[in-house]
Amino acid sequence: MPNTELHETARALVAEGKGILAADESGGTIKKRFDTIGVESTEENRRAYRNLLFTTPGVEEYISGVILYDETIRQKADDGTPFPELLASKGVIPGIKVDQGAKPLAHAEGETVTEGLDGLRQRLEEYRGLGARFAKWRATYSISDTLPSEYCIWTNAHALARYAALCQEAGIVPIVEPEVLQDGTHSIERSGFVTSRVLAAVYTELFDQRVDVEGTLLKPNMTLSGYDASDRAGVDEVAEATLHTLSKHVPAAVPGIVFLSGGQSDEDATAHLNAMNAVGPHPWQLSFSYGRALQAPALKAWEGKPECVEAGQRAYYHRAKMNAAARTGAYGPEMEREAAVV
């Protein structure tokens, strides 16, 4: 029997005009981000920063869900309300990162496999008790003339599907995140070829492992030229190439695709999403699940100072609003300038 609750949650996460905030940075990643603004990465500073984001007035108009980290799902807001409860009270669905990171893949130099399946069933049960209704697992693949190998592609696809099946067993919507890293000098054509191979393997494994794709979301990379490529593709070319790649491999039954921002600038990530939605309709909702591309301006404005919390919230609200506009193809660079004047 299909799980209608999973279907409803997946659809709610890609509701019209909304997207997901990825606030699931590991301890090492959040430290790097805090280092850029000269703030020590203590548990209290991390809590205060997440409190800034989660209590931003009105942002629930544009944000459907938030991916939390193990530490964060156990923390509380300034008024003592557990973060998952705070989010749910605003109509924002709490989620949780459950993988334990990409580790070197044996006998495959330069490639990784994501770990964290051991004990996952028990962790999912606990996270559901803490309020999580969706989860995320990220696999990564490097591009070169020879990478990724078939070994890497299929090993990660198998793990992603095992994770997804366990999530659905626990009544949690799995976000499946196969990220083809866009570092390097590769062409957009090479990116499309590699992403196609990865997605083909992922959906083969999902079906083989009896995952109900109507109760899942896909979080892929966009099809981009390498960040160090001498001749990088423009916005419209990226949109066309990404849609071409997805249309070949992602079943229409998948409710939504929530892109990761990767190493893109805030505005590039928004412009690319906008260009894809401007040429719709598509079989799936095209949305966002951005971390840095939603948070970077807020982090810079906040600087760890209590008196700058409101400035940080304004910056986060603005980026959420811009990406919500991109959901309908209504975003334009002039909206950035207008906001800067206000």
pLDDT band at 338 (very low <50, low <70, confident <90, very high): low
The domain spanning residue 271 has which CATH number?
A: 3.20.20.70
Residue 327: domain span: 4-341
Pairing label, strands 102-104, 112-114? antiparallel
pLDDT of residue 283: 97
- Residue 195's alpha-carbon distances to 3, 156, 217, 243, in angstroms, are 29, 13, 17, 12
338 part of the active site: no
| pTM exceeding 0.85 | yes
The per-residue pLDDT for range 223-232, each reduced to its tens digit, is 999 999 988 9
The per-residue pLDDT for range 56-70, each reduced to its tens digit, is 999 999 999 999 999
Looking at the structure of the chain, the number of domains it has is 1
What letters, b where the CB count within 10 A reaches 16 and e where it falls short, cover 213-230?
bbbbbbbbbbbbbbeebe
177 part of the active site: yes
Task: Name, in order, each residue with C-beta under 8 angstroms of 30's C-beta and a sequence gap of 6 or more.
Answer: 41, 46
The per-residue pLDDT for range 177-206, each reduced to its tens digit, is 999 999 999 999 999 999 999 999 999 999
Task: Name, in order, each residue with C-beta under 8 angstroms of 118's C-beta and a sequence gap of 6 or more.
Answer: none
pLDDT of residue 280: 84
User: Cα–Cα distance between 195 and 200 in angstroms, integer?
Assistant: 9
User: Cα–Cα distance between 330 and 278 in angstroms, integer?
Assistant: 8
Nearest alpha-carbon partner for 136 in 167, 181, 91 = 167
Tell how far CA 297 is from the center of its chain.
17
pLDDT of residue 342: 39
Average pLDDT, rounded, for the chain: 96
Given 18, 97, 136, 219, the catalytic residue: 219
Question: To the nearest whole percent, how much of the chain has pLDDT over 70?
Answer: 98
Query: Between 165 and 336, where is the model more confident?
Result: 165
Given 25, 111, 136, 177, the catalytic residue: 177
Nearest alpha-carbon partner for 14 in 203, 241, 254 = 254
